[in-house]
Chains A and B, each alone.
Chain A
Amino acid sequence: MKETKKNKANEFLGSLLFTKNLKASGFFEPIVSIFLAFLFGSIVILLIGENPLSTYKLMFGGAFGSLANITNTFNKVTTLTLTGLSYAFAFRCGMVNIGAEGQLYIGALCSSIVVLRVPGPAPLVILLALLAGFLGGGLFGLLIGFLKVTFGANEVITTVMLNYVAQYLVLWAISGPIKDPNSLTAQTAVFEESYWLPSIFPGTKIQCGILLMVASLIFFGIFLWKMVAGFEMQVVGQNSSAAAYAGVNVKKNRLLSMFLAGGFGGLAGAIEVLGVQHRLLKGVSSNYGFDGIAVALLGNNTPIGMFLSGILIGAMKSGGNNVQMFSKVPSSVVDLIRALMIVFVLVNALHRFLKKREMRRDLLNV
């Protein structure tokens, strides 16, 4: 009786994660990875001469200690989860998209241009700006897909290269065409307040981009697991030759997945400028594109998983500044821990390896 109840719970939680049951969802592996990454991070913190526990306490305080901190955290979670979605969309179609950083820059650029140049009623302009961000990032992603399917150009290298190109393009735009004429540094003017994304709770600065992020995750889940087009995309991701044999158009699916991946990366940029920074700066993204890789991999490329890992990475990032302010440890330690998380998620294969070894030993004993 108790067993079946447990199984039911297991299956229910698993179905939320779009897998058979909780165990099959790989829910536990990321937790081990997170723990190990913090453990290894502690070694570096000790090396710097600080206490790891008090450092992590500072990090937690910086993420959730006050209303301002929580606001900051959730605005970061919004951006990060969208870049994670960018990685996941490409991953589901068998591509490695390291380009969310560049797509974010292009999205931010496109929506800034709309806000600064297009006249009209504010709500309409905001909608148009969000759309422009999505389309700009999407076309930038589509370019990667096009280079991959037409020339066979390795998408990891092209995405990384285009990240640099996108950053310099933004730098060029904000030091020339859309520069704030009253400023000495390269940046646009602050957008008029009516063009800012409204906040969802009056009195806080948590902007409604978070709703867009949740809607995007729901779209991701429905598209990939409940729609034929998404199913085809996943088949291409798992075995492109089998998909081609079954009559699925591999090229079309790759292009579509890169367009959507780029689109969500671009949307992250649009929300960042419209809702958080309210102007286009040189450093519009503080490595959000790369954080997205960790979000996607820790979240097992599933909607709920990415929502949870997005909160984790967002909290770490917003806590990082607190760490830098009140200890000798620089905030970049967060980048290190986040990279280690990716390594350990991948190393979960270690688990499988050890298991196999045990099996082999058992065979020898027989």
Chain B
Amino acid sequence: MSNSILTFLNSVVLYSIPLLYASLGVLFMEVAGVVNMGAEGMMIIGSLVGIMASNAFGNVWAGALIAMLAAGAFGALFGFLVIELRINQVVLGVAFNLAGYGLTTTLNRAFSVDGIILKCTYFKDALGFYPPVYIGLGLVALVWIILYKTNFGIQLRSVGENPMVVECMGISVKRLRYTACIIGAMLVGFGGSFLSTGLLSRYAEQMTDGRGYIALAAVTFGKYTPIGTLAGVLIFGAGDTLSLRLQAGGSGFPYQIALMIPYVLTVVALCFFSHNVHDPASLGVPYTKNR
């Protein structure tokens, strides 16, 4: 019995990891006042680029790096559009997701016949975990230190609350928001690449299955703190694992209903935790200097 609980917890952790990276990326952008509704698109690009580059270089770490660069480039573009042109972040994010799906599906169908299979892997430890599992957990602590114990983090959070004050202190709002966009997108991209190169060893069309949106919900659930976000991610990971168990086990439970679990869980969590969250005051509000 205790053994089966352990394996359950084990897969909860494993299934949480792509979402954890994505959520930390989203968190990074949102504390700086940028809504990353485009996380889904950045993630799927990370998944495809990650597995293609891994196969090309014969090394998953190189693949992950290229995936991060690709997603980072998309983050920079997203940043340019929302910071300079002050485009509606929510609708632009959705458009990014649709473009990400369109681009990855087109490239995948044009260049591979039966989907892409990973040819190399991360090394596994005795628990069945890959190094990115530990890096991810360490990253939660690192993000906490950055956000709450460094000057940069305090500036970043201030930009999310009141950019005018930051500008008055002589710090560039734009530079901070660009940094947040690029770092955030890179983390999201790594989450995507871990999905195709760590959790599974293949690429499937639209394999992120809404995880980019779930990441946003996890950040709201975590009240914009790294530790809270981790808690949210683990709950969604548990939902994912439960859903998989119910699909596989001969419990007679209809698998189509089991598939709904992560999504229903997200909606329920949003409902219960949205109203008493203090969003960063300037979240989604474009900043103009001369106002």
What separation, in Å, do the CA atoms of A71 and B210 have in the docked complex? 34
Min C-beta distance of A173 to chain B, whole Å: 9
**Residue of A147, A165, A297, A347 with most partner-chain B CB within 10 A:** A165
**In this complex, what residue of B is CB-closest to A164?**
B263
Residues of A contacting B90 with CB < 8 Å?
Answer: 96, 156
Min C-beta distance of A94 to chain B, whole Å: 11
A-B contact count (CB 8 A): 145
Residues of A contacting B88 with CB < 8 Å?
Answer: 346
Q: Give the dominant DSSP class at A's interface.
A: helix
Min C-beta distance of B30 to chain A, whole Å: 12
B96 part of interface (Cβ distance < 8 Å): yes
Min C-beta distance of B73 to chain A, whole Å: 15
Of the stretches A132-140, A251-259, A336-344, the one at the interface is: A336-344
CB <8 Å contact, A158 and B267: yes
**In this complex, what residue of B is CB-closest to A356?**
B288
A160 part of interface (Cβ distance < 8 Å): yes
Q: Give the dominant DSSP class at B's interface.
A: helix
A:165-185 near B, CB below 8 Å = 165, 168-169, 171-172, 175-176
Min C-beta distance of B244 to chain A, whole Å: 14
Contact with B along A96-113 (1 / 0, CB 8 A): 101000000000000000
A151 part of interface (Cβ distance < 8 Å): yes
**Cross-interface CB contact of B98 among A156, A165, A335, cutoff 8 Å:** A335
A24 part of interface (Cβ distance < 8 Å): no
Min C-beta distance of B81 to chain A, whole Å: 7
What separation, in Å, do the CA atoms of A337 and B102 have in the docked complex? 8
Min C-beta distance of B3 to chain A, whole Å: 31
A:17-60 near B, CB below 8 Å = 44, 47-48
B45 part of interface (Cβ distance < 8 Å): no
Residues of A contacting B256 with CB < 8 Å?
Answer: 168-169, 171-172, 175
CB <8 Å contact, B98 and A338: yes
Contact with A along B87-109 (1 / 0, CB 8 A): 11011101110110111011101
CB <8 Å contact, B213 and A157: yes
Contact with B along A116-128 (1 / 0, CB 8 A): 0000000000000
Size of A's binding interface in residues, CB under 8 A: 47
Also in contact, A165 and B94, with CB within 8 A (given A152-B275, A156-B37, A330-B110): no
Min C-beta distance of A341 to chain B, whole Å: 9
Residues of B contacting A349 with CB < 8 Å?
Answer: 85-87
What separation, in Å, do the CA atoms of A297 and B106 have in the docked complex? 23
Min C-beta distance of A243 to chain B, whole Å: 20
**In this complex, what residue of B is CB-closest to A353?**
B85
Residues of B contacting A168 with CB < 8 Å?
Answer: 256-257, 259-260
Also in contact, A147 and B85, with CB within 8 A (given A153-B274, A160-B213, A171-B256): no
**Residue of A44, A153, A343 with most partner-chain B CB within 10 A:** A153
CB <8 Å contact, A343 and B210: no
What separation, in Å, do the CA atoms of A172 and B258 have in the docked complex? 10
What 20 additional pairs, Cβ within 8 angstroms, besides A153-B271, A157-B267, A161-B264? Answer: A44-B107, A98-B94, A150-B271, A151-B274, A153-B267, A154-B216, A154-B220, A157-B270, A161-B214, A161-B263, A164-B260, A164-B263, A169-B260, A175-B254, A293-B94, A339-B98, A343-B81, A343-B95, A346-B81, A349-B85
Return 29 A-B CB contacts under 8 Å, by A number.
A44-B106, A44-B107, A147-B267, A147-B271, A151-B272, A153-B267, A154-B217, A154-B220, A158-B267, A161-B213, A161-B263, A161-B266, A164-B210, A165-B263, A165-B267, A168-B256, A175-B254, A293-B94, A330-B105, A333-B106, A336-B99, A337-B102, A339-B96, A339-B98, A339-B101, A342-B94, A346-B91, A346-B92, A353-B85
